[in-house]
Amino acid sequence: MRVEMFTFLLAGLICLGGALGVVLFRNTVHNALSLVATLFGVAVLFIAQEAYFLAAVQVIVYAGAIVILFLFVIMLLGVDRADQMGVDPIVGQRTAAVVFGVAILGLSLVALLSGPEVVTGTPATTAALSSDIPDVNQIGEALFTDYVFAFEITAVLLTIAVVGAVVLARRSDGPVIDEDEFDGTALDALALEEPSDVGDPDQDTADGADPGSGADETDPDDLEEASR
Amino acid sequence: MLLNQFLLLAAILFSIGVYGVIVRRNGVLVLMSIELILNSVNINLIAFSTYHGLGGQVFALFVIAVAAAEVGVGLAIVLLIYRNRRSVDIDALDELKG
Amino acid sequence: MIIQVPPTVPVVPEQLDPSAVPLAVPEIVWSAVAPALVLMIGGILLLTVVSLVRKPLPSWFHATWTVATATAAICATVPLWQRVQDNGASSEMAGTVGLDGFSLFVTGVICVSVILAALLLEGYLRREDLVGPEWYVLMLLSASGGVVMASANDLIVLFLGLEILSVAVYVLAAMHSRRTSSQEAGLKYFVLGAFSSAFLLYGIALTYGATGSTNLAGIQTFLADNVLVDNGLLLAGLAFMLVGFGFKVAAVPFHMWAPDVYQGAPTPVSAYMAAGVKAAGFAGLLRVFVTTFGPTYREEWMPMVAALAVLSLVVGSVMAIIQTNVKRMLAYSSISHAGFILLGVAAASDAGTSAALFYLLVYTFMVAGSFGVVTLIGRKGDGRHSLEDYRGLSRARPGLALVFTVFLLAQSGIPLTGGFLAKFYVIGAIVDEGLYALAAVAMLTAVISAFLYLRVIVAMYFAGPAGAEEGSEEPAEFAGPPVRIPAAAGLALGLALVGTLALGIVPGPATEVTRDATAELTVGN
């Protein structure tokens, strides 16, 4: 019991430390590395509960593939941009986040601690983990018997992910249309198959050529539209 | 058993993830926070599976597969937006309001 | 870092011998999941055909293929429907898929929304100079996810179906590669969708912990046989699942994404989101809450669902009135429609479920038709969606204005349209349960939302040009380039119009079908 407790505390601390790092660090690369720490901590917790196969999957798929994907995108976007990501968000957002986080934590804790016995202790309705067969065998067997349909439709999900990622990554030809230009002249110009950058001079053409100005300028049209 | 502690840990991790999703402005970081939530779910599932049998472990496996698919598509959308607007700041996406 | 690893399990060689461990492979009846299979295979075949054929295929080919696939899926439900009516419901695929009238009916509704959206998409893609069969492929695959979700008998399958449905729609929403607002809509939908999926998942995990099973039939029998002394875990699970579903069906207070996403997404995709995705979300909600937890935990979840319904009705109709963008207006009106359907869920009775199903069918026709008209009025660039752009439509395109008027009147619940009966049945179902206050709120908000539909109709028929003084006799001139109606879009509008009116004038067959479309959770065949 003492060893289990020690393992749990250590892995739990790594998990929570990593999680806090993900939400608090300012540098995006540090966030991704903190995520790795959390994922390893979770993998250790899996091992502590004899879910060896899942621990391996956790490390290989999550830490090995998904985090690499994150890092890849971060590098593609440019690491030096990372510093501005930590600036204070819009007014009230941080407070709202804290309130939501604490409220959800409180709710969960009340639910978890409301009784002396957390789970009902009922017998398993699926095959119990029998300790003399490796869990890989058991999971494999379950995947091809009880959960065979779920296993098969996962293929559809992965197909969608592949098709979707390829389609979105494909470069488009033709001008990019910014919604701000949908007033009067710009639209008529568009309908006449002319270049779409004949709108008001204070609106940027949003073809992405000038970083910064596209996102931050305050547009008079936006203020009018903000009548919600 | 240690079940209670695992559930507690998962609840805390879940809350941190929710905090991250709400407070972070960078699309990539929001995605990472969602990964935190999914991991808290997995901790729960594995903890329950020591009581209830294999179902939880199999479910966790599917959750990992779904997370991979979601991250792939999500990062593709983030890249697409970055290419057109040079910004991954979700709050700077100002066109949709009214 | 030193971690004490518990003693590993010794691998006994004879355990690895295949003959030593006979695998009890479940009986797989492919015909039982035929509709979902048809949609999946149709989508993947389309992708394959298009990649193999060297020269680009005409754009009508993709749309025709999609419509044919969805029609085939509807046809595939007919023999299954007969089988269910004759032999009763069954569960297939090792008990993870339920075959019952409910799942087959929702399958039909989702396929109808695919047909209408695909027809609208054909002209839209040509107008916007967008290519690619991927739109149709993703739409078909997404519909297959919705079908899986509607027929799920296991929370794992339900979750996977939801993800198949949602991930494809995230991509579809972001897929107008030259409109930045479409990509914003995609990102917003993705972030909030993934967030809500995570909530749903957390709820499922807690429910699994409390009941020991992810199988809906298993949960139902467990709860029927056992009284939980301490049900905090299960209640938290129910609450988190409700939040997750609430996001998916855009119920207030989980609706923030809907107006932005509906406005920014390509309009035919908005039509599909409003019709098909919502139908699948409600199917999951009904299956989990009404069918699984209805008999035992109705008292606990009913007030939560009723609160969501009331908030959706009030906020949806009030916020819709003050919008000036017609797409946002339709988004808020779809939130108030979600409130009506949630009333059917809150009734938690067979009548309530039938009413919700009837509402979903009618709503699919109405909302797909409305977004169809909006698609056409948007014209090239998909950007003319303000109320101003509808001024004088009755003179420029009298037919289109008339059709839109019918859809809007149907949404407001005018008699002789399906919208009236849909609202009538839902209100009837909750009155049967003695929930008079809810019925009163529903009728009040129906009156409020009638104003908003009238606002659009007035703009089309009577309003003077922008800036003219009130009461000007001169009808407005329709501004901008002429509205073109592609044949496929015309067909879609015609189908939606026929559906909306037929369900209002001859509701008999549809109500009989919805009455038989009951959800049952069965163990084994």
Q: Do residues B75 and A73 make contact, with C-beta atoms less than 8 angstroms apart?
A: yes
**Side-chain-side CA neighbours of residue C490 (13 Å):** 7
Check residue A162 and give its pLDDT.
94
- Do the Cβ atoms of C205 and B17 come within 8 Å? no
With contacts defined as CB-CB under 8 Å, which chain B residues touch C177?
80
Tokens for A186, please give them.
Answer: 């710009």
Check residue A129 and give its pLDDT.
52
Mutation pick from C162, C184, C332 vs chain B, by most beta carbons of B within 10 Å, is C184
pLDDT average, residue stretch C449-468: 78
- What does each C-alpha distance from C320 to C182, C267, C327, C409, C452 come to in angstroms? 21, 18, 10, 15, 7
Asked which of B68-82, C150-164, C270-284, C461-475 is least confident by mean pLDDT, the reply is C461-475
Mutation pick from C46, C180, C183, C214 vs chain A, by most beta carbons of A within 10 Å, is C180
Q: How far is C491 from chain A (nearest CA, A)?
A: 24
pLDDT at C391 over 90: no
Check residue C502 and give its pLDDT.
92
Q: Which residues pair with C152 in a beta bridge?
A: C97
pLDDT at C436 over 50: yes
Check residue C276 and give its pLDDT.
92
Contacting residues for C486 by C-beta, under 8 A, at least 6 apart: C122, C123, C126, C127
Asked which of B32-41, B68-77, C222-231 is least confident by mean pLDDT, the reply is C222-231
- Per-residue pLDDT reduced to its tens digit, C82-116: 999 888 888 888 888 988 899 999 999 999 999 99
The rounded Cα A55 to chain-centroid distance in angstroms is: 20
C: neighbours with 3+ CB pairs under 8 Å? Answer: A, B
Contacting residues for C8 by C-beta, under 8 A, at least 6 apart: A52
**Is C177 in CB contact (< 8 Å) with chain B?**
yes
Q: How far is B45 from chain A (nearest CA, A)?
A: 10
Q: Please, what is the average pLDDT of chain A?
A: 71
Q: Which residues pair with C90 in a beta bridge?
A: C99
pLDDT at B34 over 50: yes
Q: pLDDT category, A38, cuts 50, 70, 90? A: very high
Domains in chain B, start-ordered, CATH in brackets?
3-92 (1.10.287.3510)
Check residue C36 and give its pLDDT.
94
**pTM for the whole thing?**
0.87
With contacts defined as CB-CB under 8 Å, which chain A residues touch B79?
73, 76-77, 168-169
- Per-residue pLDDT reduced to its tens digit, A45-69: 999 888 899 999 999 998 889 999 9
Q: pLDDT category, A71, cuts 50, 70, 90? A: very high
Q: Do residues A126 and C217 make contact, with C-beta atoms less than 8 angstroms apart?
A: no
- Do the Cβ atoms of C163 and B66 come within 8 Å? yes
Search chain B and give the residue with CA nearest C184: B93
DSSP 3-state of C8: coil
Q: pLDDT category, C514, cuts 50, 70, 90? A: confident
Short-list C304, C335, C189, CA closest to C237: C304
Report ipTM for this prediction: 0.91
Q: Please tell me the distance from the alpha carbon of residue C325 to that of residue C39, in angstroms, as a whole number.
A: 34
**Is B54 in CB contact (< 8 Å) with chain C?**
no
A: neighbours with 3+ CB pairs under 8 Å? Answer: B, C
Q: Please tell me the distance from the alpha carbon of residue C257 to that of residue A220, in angstroms, as a whole number.
A: 24
pLDDT average, residue stretch B14-39: 90
The rounded Cα A125 to chain-centroid distance in angstroms is: 32
pLDDT exceeding 70 applies to what percent of chain A? 58
Asked which of A109-113, B56-60, B81-85, C255-259 is least confident by mean pLDDT, the reply is A109-113
What does R_g of chain B's alpha carbons equal in angstroms?
A: 17
Q: Do residues C442 and C423 make contact, with C-beta atoms less than 8 angstroms apart?
A: yes
Check residue C423 and give its pLDDT.
93
Q: pLDDT category, C463, cuts 50, 70, 90? A: low
- Do the Cβ atoms of B52 and C209 come within 8 Å? yes
Check residue A88 and give its pLDDT.
47
- Do the Cβ atoms of C187 and B77 come within 8 Å? yes
Short-list C113, C268, C110, C109, CA closest to C176: C268
**Is C3 in CB contact (< 8 Å) with chain A?**
yes
Check residue A49 and give its pLDDT.
86
Short-list C203, C346, C284, C299, CA closest to C519: C284
Q: What is the DSSP string of C267-332?
A: HHHHHHIIIIIHHHHHHHHIIIIIIISHHHHHHHHHHHHHHHHHHHHHHHHHHHHT--BHHHHHHH
Nearest to A22 among B3, B20, B92 (CB): B20
- Do the Cβ atoms of A168 and C174 come within 8 Å? yes
**Is C201 in CB contact (< 8 Å) with chain B?**
yes
Check residue A193 and give its pLDDT.
35
pLDDT average, residue stretch C58-74: 93
């959770």: which residue's tokens?
A: C521
Q: pLDDT category, A87, cuts 50, 70, 90? A: very low
Nearest to B77 among C183, C205, C264 (CB): C183
Fill in the amino acid letter for C370: S
Q: pLDDT category, B90, cuts 50, 70, 90? A: low
- Per-residue pLDDT reduced to its tens digit, A145-195: 889 999 999 999 999 999 999 998 887 666 666 544 444 333 443 433 333
- Do the Cβ atoms of A125 and C144 come within 8 Å? no
**Is A160 in CB contact (< 8 Å) with chain B?**
yes
What does R_g of chain A's alpha carbons equal in angstroms?
A: 25
Q: Which is more confident, C57 or C429?
A: C429
With contacts defined as CB-CB under 8 Å, which chain C residues touch B58?
156
Check residue A169 and give its pLDDT.
84
Contacting residues for C52 by C-beta, under 8 A, at least 6 apart: none
With contacts defined as CB-CB under 8 Å, which chain A residues touch B76?
164-165, 168-169
Short-list C409, C336, C402, C425, CA closest to C366: C409
Q: Please tell me the distance from the alpha carbon of residue B41 to that of residue A211, in angstroms, as a whole number.
A: 38
Check residue A207 and give its pLDDT.
38
